[in-house]
Amino acid sequence: GAGVSQSPRYKVTKRGQDVALRCDPISGHVSLYWYRQALGQGPEFLTYFNYEAQQDKSGLPNDRFSAERPEGSISTLTIQRTEQRDSAMYRCASRGGGPQYFGPGTRLTVL
């Protein structure tokens, strides 16, 4: 694809609901990363995949957060039982051996 795409671009949900955020990386990129960005801050690492294997999930805040990339392409970040503190911009990036290229992000608002 031309770039990294993410959907939805905006998600508003009520506290306690589950949400699923999707990332479609640049075609052929082996590595896929998830970050969370608070207002006025740089992105913070959550987790990453090489192909379909989740190599590191040390940045996931707690066990309500999970991610998968079952076929080594599209990835889904799932947040269960959302809380207001989960409100943030969630960004995905992919890498094919050089720099990481970022998607437009999903802005999640938990009411």
Partner 1 sequence: EDKVVQSPLSLVVHEGDTVTLNCSYEVTNFRSLLWYKQEKKAPTFLFMLTSSGIEKKSGRLSSILDKKELFSILNITATQTGDSAVYLCAVFIIQGAQKLVFGQGTRLTINP
State the residues that interact with partner 1 by CB under 8 A.
3-4, 31, 33, 35, 40-45, 48, 55-56, 58-59, 91, 93, 98-105
Between 82 and 92, CB nearer to partner 1: 92
Between 41 and 78, CB nearer to partner 1: 41
User: Measured between alpha carbons, how far is residue 30 from residues 18, 49, 84 in Å?
Assistant: 28, 8, 33
As measured in angstroms, the least distance from the Cβ of 18 to partner 1 is 25
Neighbouring-strand partners of residue 19: 79
**Within the chain, what is the greatest distance between any pair of CA atoms?**
39
